Amino acid sequence: MLQQNYGFSYDEYGNTKAILVYQRGFGVFGNSYTCKGNAYTQEERNTLEVDGSAPPTVRTLEQQVANSTQKVNAKESDIEKFIYLRALFDRNVTLAHAVIAADVARYMRIIYTPTVGLACQNYSSMFRQANGLHFYPGNIDKAESILRQFTHRDIRVAVVTDNQGILGIGDQGAGGIAICLGKLMLYTQGAGIAPWHCLPISLDVGTDNHTLLDDPEYLGWRHERLKGQDYIDFIQRFARAFRVVFPNAICQWEDFSKQNAFAIRDSYLHDLISFNDDIQGTGAITLAGVYSAMKIKNESITDQVFLIHGAGAGGVGIAEQIDVALIEAGLDPEQAKARIFTLDSHGLVTTDRRIEPYKEKFAKDPAQLPWLQKSGNATLLNTIKEAKVTVLIGTSGQHGCFSKEIVMAMLANSKRPVILPLSNPTSMSEAEPKDIYEWSNGQALVATGSPFEPVTHDGKAIRIGQCNNVFVFPGVGLGVLASGAKEVLPSFFTAAAKAVSQQVSEADLANGVLFPAIDKLNEVSLGVAFAVGEVAIQEGVSRLCVFSSFQHNNNVERLKELITKMRWSPTYLPLIPM
Question: 372-385: per-residue pLDDT in tens?
Answer: 877 678 999 999 99
d(CA 186, CA 194): 11
Q: Is residue 568 part of a domain?
A: no
d(CA 169, CA 117): 7
Q: Is residue 393 part of a domain?
A: yes
Is the predicted pLDDT of residue 550 greater than 70, yes or no? no
Residues 338 and 409 in one domain: yes
Quick check: helix, strand or coil at residue 304?
coil
In the predicted model, what is the mean pLDDT of residues 41-69?
Answer: 93
Residues 251 and 286 in one domain: no
In the predicted model, what is the mean pLDDT of residues 334-360?
Answer: 94
- Per DSSP bridges, beta strands 306-309 and 455-457 are unpaired
Q: Looking at residue 407, what is its pLDDT?
A: 98
Average pLDDT of the chain to the nearest whole number:
93
Is the predicted pLDDT of residue 549 greater than 70, yes or no? no
Is the predicted pLDDT of residue 3 greater than 70, yes or no? no
% residues pLDDT > 70 (the chain): 98
Is the predicted pLDDT of residue 212 greater than 50, yes or no? yes
Q: Looking at residue 12, what is its pLDDT?
A: 93
Lowest average pLDDT, out of 112-116, 188-192, 216-220, goes to 112-116
Question: 456-514: per-residue pLDDT in tens?
Answer: 988 889 999 999 999 999 999 999 999 999 999 999 999 999 999 999 999 999 999 99
Cα 151–Cα 473–Cα 251 angle in degrees, nearest 5? 35
Q: Looking at residue 417, what is its pLDDT?
A: 98
* pLDDT band at 1; cut points 50, 70, 90: very low
Residues 298 and 189 in one domain: no
In this structure, the number of other CB atoms found within 10 A of the CB of residue 577 comes to 14
Residues 101 and 228 in one domain: yes
499 within 8 A of 525, measured Cβ to Cβ = no
d(CA 481, CA 251): 12
514 within 8 A of 436, measured Cβ to Cβ = no
Residues 324 and 229 in one domain: no
Return the sign of the alpha-carbon dihedral for residues 203, 204, 208, 211.
Answer: positive
* pLDDT band at 132; cut points 50, 70, 90: very high
Q: Looking at residue 26, what is its pLDDT?
A: 83
Of 445, 470, 495, which residue is a domain's last? 470
Q: Is residue 6 part of a domain?
A: no
In the predicted model, what is the mean pLDDT of residues 291-320?
Answer: 96
Question: 511-520: per-residue pLDDT in tens?
Answer: 999 999 999 9
529-567: burial string, b at 16+ Cβ within 10 Å, e else: bbbbbbbbbeeebbebbeeeeeeeeebbebbbebbeebb
Q: Looking at residue 547, what is its pLDDT?
A: 47
257-296: burial string, b at 16+ Cβ within 10 Å, e else: bbebbbbbbeebeeebbbbbbbbbbbbbbbbbbbbbbbeb
Which one from 112, 123, 187, 291 is the annotated catalytic residue?
A: 112
Domain containing 323 — which CATH number? 3.40.50.720
Residues 241 and 113 in one domain: yes
The number of folded domains in the chain is 2
d(CA 27, CA 368): 70
Which one from 36, 81, 183, 258 is the annotated catalytic residue?
A: 183
In the predicted model, what is the mean pLDDT of residues 52-60?
Answer: 91
Residues 88 and 232 in one domain: yes
In the predicted model, what is the mean pLDDT of residues 13-36?
Answer: 91
Residues 77 and 208 in one domain: yes
Q: Looking at residue 25, what is its pLDDT?
A: 85
Residues 442 and 338 in one domain: yes
Of 413, 444, 470, which residue is a domain's last? 470
Q: Is residue 532 part of a domain?
A: no
In the predicted model, what is the mean pLDDT of residues 548-568?
Answer: 82
440 within 8 A of 409, measured Cβ to Cβ = no
Residues 207 and 131 in one domain: yes
Amino acid at 165: G
For 539, what's the count of Cα atoms within 13 Å in the CB-facing half-sphere? 20
Residues 360 and 427 in one domain: yes
Range of the domain at 71: 60-255
Domain containing 78 — which CATH number? 3.40.50.10380
Q: Is residue 30 part of a domain?
A: no
Is the predicted pLDDT of residue 2 greater than 50, yes or no? no
Please give the model's pTM, rounded to 2 decimal places: 0.94
In the predicted model, what is the mean pLDDT of residues 94-105?
Answer: 97
Q: Is residue 476 part of a domain?
A: no
Q: Is residue 397 part of a domain?
A: yes
Q: Is residue 531 part of a domain?
A: no
- Could you confirm whether 112 is annotated as catalytic? yes
Lowest average pLDDT, out of 39-53, 372-386, 544-558, goes to 544-558
399 within 8 A of 427, measured Cβ to Cβ = yes
Is the predicted pLDDT of residue 18 greater than 50, yes or no? yes
Residues 251 and 291 in one domain: no
* pLDDT band at 548; cut points 50, 70, 90: very low
Is the predicted pLDDT of residue 241 greater than 80, yes or no? yes
Of 221, 255, 289, which residue is a domain's last? 255
Question: 250-285: per-residue pLDDT in tens?
Answer: 999 999 988 899 999 999 988 999 999 999 999 999
- Could you confirm whether 218 is annotated as catalytic? no
